[in-house]
Chain A
Amino acid sequence: MGVGIEVSNLNAWYGSNHTLQDINLNIPANHATALIGPSGCGKSTFVRCLNRMHETNPVARVTGSVRMGDLDIYADAKPVEIRRRVGMVFQRPNPFPTMSIYDNVAAGLKLNGFNNRHALDEIVEKSLRNSALWDEVKDDLRKKSGASLSGGQQQRLCIARALAVDPEVLLMDEPASALDPVSTSKIEDLIFQLKSQYTIVIVTHNMQQAARVAEMTGFFLNGRMVEFDSTQKIFTNPRDKRTEDYITGRFG
């Protein structure tokens, strides 16, 4: 089952660039939360703060607190530990090029020392089923390389890879933006099914997508979170004029 995330007074910098300012929100467990906003508003940076990927950049800095359950992910744990509990799917599919499909899915476990072959087989199958890729690749698990799949399949492979380590939270940074409509809808269906098991945070440019899959939606603008509410409210009766302007397409 997933876990909720409480963000308090989160500020983030890239060098001298104050990318995120005073972010406060509560991401509910076992639901999908969408983050929308124009390009460069900081939503990707925000999501990368949730699994401490933001700090892989040498000039990055973070203040504030992010709590998963009763754990402050910055003060109480190391990045490696957090990233095993908070998985990430990136904008462009990035399967490991030298590995087979099986090894790609198992990578998160094998590279952490998990060696039980029998258990791995089960986990790989379960993850591929959960990402709706099993039927398409079940005969070629070890023969085909991860990079030989189509774009949509690669992204589902990346989802399976993220799911294999059984995270509590799944972060998705515009997962379908590089994909064709058919793959996109497949992934949206996936999110719908997965959210009962995990907490999902999805960054998206596509408001329709947000409306389709997420219960909560947050609107980011210029590094601040302008409004965070149920999707229904954001899209029918937003409180802030800036949200309204964005929804109606006045900018971004």
Chain B
Amino acid sequence: MSRVQNTLRNQWRSLADLAATSIAVLSTILVIAPLVAIFVYLIYKGASSLNLAFFTQVPKPVGEEGGGMANAIYGSAILLGMASLIGVPIGIGGGIFLSEFGRGTKLANAIRFTADVLNGVPSIVMGIAAYSLVVVPMHHFSAFAGGVALGIMMIPTVCRTTEEMLLMVPHVVREAALGLGVPNWRSVLSITVKTASPGIITGCMLAFARVAGETAPLIFTAFGNAFWSTNLNREIAALPLQIYVYAISPYDDWHRLAWAGALVLIVLIVLAVSLVRFVTSRGVLKGAN
């Protein structure tokens, strides 16, 4: 190739490099922009609608001003409590099996793969399953059904993160416990799981934050409730569900409440995610290394 051609080609290459870099930067900006836009808009619209009444009052009838989402906040707390009761123990148990009993076996690989695939199943399908399993036999919607739907969504996530955290516990710690003649079940629970507990807890928090914002599985399980309810056997309100109902309604007042609710929800989720990041970056296992 002649000198001139070579220089031209190199110029073209440098141009391509510059173009690629610009596009990459542009992409990043384009991605971060909606995020920033959403947050800013949420804070702007939500903060102005937030007042004490939001947290303490139930929705007023259509047409009346004011009211709040106290019933939805409480309902979400109940649903998430039930979901955790189902999802956390079973998920941690599954993770313990994968790490301590089934490590390297084909069964464990199959379970792990299935858990990952299950995480990708749409949440509305989980809702249908809970509908079939709980709502149909009971002949009515209930908070319990909603709790079940959210609970089975938590199981695969908690299981995988628990397994990952337990795998990080150094083998010598287990050996020390076994060498003392500690029964295996005691060693797994009091030594191995305890050592990995900061990581396991963060995994549970992640799963919790994820189901806290889920709406679809609740539409035909918990169903939602415009009134204050503490009955697990009946329909119950939930924060994301209420936001949805209000958002698609034609009433401005309800829109305002929807924004406020969204702000509360996003703040809780951001707090949870940030906490998780903080704990994980600080070093999950205290002194185990």
Would A and B touch once assembled, by the CB under 8 A criterion? yes
Which A65-94 residues sit within 8 Å CB-CB of chain B? 80-85, 87-88, 90, 92, 94
Inter-chain contact total with CB atoms closer than 8 Å: 82
A165 interfacial contact with B, CB 8 Å: yes
Stretch at the interface among B23-31, B183-191, B201-209, B254-262: B183-191
A26 interfacial contact with B, CB 8 Å: no
Per-position 1/0 for B158-190, Cβ under 8 A of A: 000000000000101101111111111011001
Docked Cα-Cα span, A206 to B191, in Å, equals: 33
B210 interfacial contact with A, CB 8 Å: no
Stretch at the interface among A12-20, A107-115, A240-248: A107-115
Whether A97 contacts B181 in the complex (CB less than 8 A), given A111-B187, A158-B176, comes out as no
Query: In the complex, what residue of chain A is closest to B179 when comparing beta carbons?
Result: A88
Stretch at the interface among B113-121, B232-240, B243-251, B281-289: B281-289
Per-position 1/0 for A134-154, Cβ under 8 A of B: 000000000001011000000
A107–B175 touching, CB < 8 Å: no
A98 interfacial contact with B, CB 8 Å: yes
Which of A81, A87, A145, A147 touches B180 (beta carbons < 8 Å)?
A: A87
Docked Cα-Cα span, A112 to B173, in Å, equals: 17
A96–B177 touching, CB < 8 Å: yes
**B interface, by DSSP: helix, strand, loop or mixed?**
helix
Chain A residues lying within 8 Å of B176, measured Cβ to Cβ, are 90, 94-96, 158, 161
Docked Cα-Cα span, A84 to B170, in Å, equals: 22
Docked Cα-Cα span, A165 to B182, in Å, equals: 11
Per-position 1/0 for B23-46, Cβ under 8 A of A: 000000000000000000000000
B182–A92 touching, CB < 8 Å: no
Which of B180, B190, B194 touches A84 (beta carbons < 8 Å)?
A: B180
B181–A165 touching, CB < 8 Å: yes
Classify chain B's interface size: 20 to 34
Docked Cα-Cα span, A147 to B125, in Å, equals: 48
Per-position 1/0 for A12-52, Cβ under 8 A of B: 00000000000000000000000000000000000000010
A236 interfacial contact with B, CB 8 Å: no
A107, chain B: closest CB distance, angstroms? 7
Whether A111 contacts B180 in the complex (CB less than 8 A), given A97-B286, A145-B287, comes out as yes
Docked Cα-Cα span, A51 to B126, in Å, equals: 49
A92–B180 touching, CB < 8 Å: no
Which of B178, B183, B184, B195 touches A96 (beta carbons < 8 Å)?
A: B195
B98, chain A: closest CB distance, angstroms? 15
B286–A108 touching, CB < 8 Å: no
B179–A87 touching, CB < 8 Å: yes
Docked Cα-Cα span, A112 to B190, in Å, equals: 11
B191–A112 touching, CB < 8 Å: no
A111–B178 touching, CB < 8 Å: no
Docked Cα-Cα span, A80 to B182, in Å, equals: 7
Q: 15 A-B pairs, CB-CB below 8 angstroms?
A: A56-B175, A80-B183, A83-B180, A84-B181, A87-B179, A88-B179, A98-B288, A108-B181, A111-B177, A111-B183, A111-B187, A111-B190, A111-B191, A112-B183, A147-B288
* Contacts beyond the supplied A51-B179, A83-B179, A97-B285: 9 A-B pairs with Cβ under 8 Å: A81-B181, A84-B181, A87-B180, A96-B173, A97-B173, A98-B195, A111-B180, A111-B190, A147-B286
Task: Please name the 9 residue pairs, one residue from A and one from B, whose CB atoms are nearest each other, closest first.
Answer: A84-B181, A147-B287, A83-B181, A108-B180, A88-B179, A94-B172, A97-B287, A97-B288, A94-B176
